[in-house]
């Protein structure tokens, strides 16, 4: 009987933690950025797929789902339009996915080293 009670408590804790984390992940529709991030662009060729990362890409102070961000990067400056479709927390930062990534974290993405929900930023400034 004691074992069953412990198992029930552990299952309850796992469900509670899981639902609170799921809510935090779903709530990230707009984030504040530090101004720099890593852009990864992937191309699918006939036989294989290749990805190239560009470090220290300038980012706007805030990014929201639905934004079309024009990014400038590279030693021979290139302009690239990035359509934000999803923002996921990752470590202390976040992962911004585009329409080209189709929801895959190993596709086209922006890796932001530190970001916070924009609502926290605006409520802290009031």
In a domain, 24, yes or no: no
Residue 96 burial (CB count, 10 A): 30
Q: Which of 116, 92, 103 is nearest to 30 (CA)?
A: 116
**Domain with 62 in it:** 30-125
In a domain, 14, yes or no: no
In a domain, 11, yes or no: no
Alpha carbons 63 and 41: distance in angstroms, whole number? 18
User: What confidence tens digit (pLDDT) does each residue in 16-41 have?
Assistant: 334 334 444 454 889 999 999 999 98
When divided into structural domains, the chain yields a total of 1
In a domain, 23, yes or no: no
User: What confidence tens digit (pLDDT) does each residue in 75-95 have?
Assistant: 888 898 999 999 999 888 999
Q: Which of 111, 86, 112, 100 is nearest to 43 (CA)?
A: 100
In a domain, 22, yes or no: no
What are the respective helix, strand and coil percentages of the chain, to the nearest 5?
A: 30, 45, 25
Residue with the larger pLDDT of the pair 26 and 119: 119
Lowest pLDDT segment from 10-14, 39-43, 50-54, 73-77: 10-14
Predicted local distance difference test score (pLDDT) of residue 45: 81
In a domain, 13, yes or no: no
pLDDT over 90 (residue 120): no
Predicted local distance difference test score (pLDDT) of residue 59: 94
In a domain, 73, yes or no: yes
Predicted local distance difference test score (pLDDT) of residue 21: 43
In a domain, 16, yes or no: no
């Amino acid at each position: 009987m004691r074992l069953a009670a412990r198992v029930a408590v552990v299952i309850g804790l796992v469900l509670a933690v899981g639902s609170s984390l799921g809510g935090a992940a779903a709530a990230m529709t707009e984030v504040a950025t530090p101004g720099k991030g890593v852009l990864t662009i992937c191309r699918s060729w006939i036989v294989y797929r290749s990805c190239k990362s560009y470090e220290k890409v300038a980012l706007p102070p805030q990014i929201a789902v639905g934004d079309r961000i024009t990014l400038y990067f590279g030693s021979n400056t290139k302009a690239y339009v990035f359509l934000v479709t999803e923002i996921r927390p990752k470590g202390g930062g976040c992962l911004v996915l585009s329409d080209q990534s189709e929801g895959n974290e190993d596709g086209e993405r922006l890796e932001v080293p530190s970001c916070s929900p924009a609502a926290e930023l605006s409520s802290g400034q009031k």
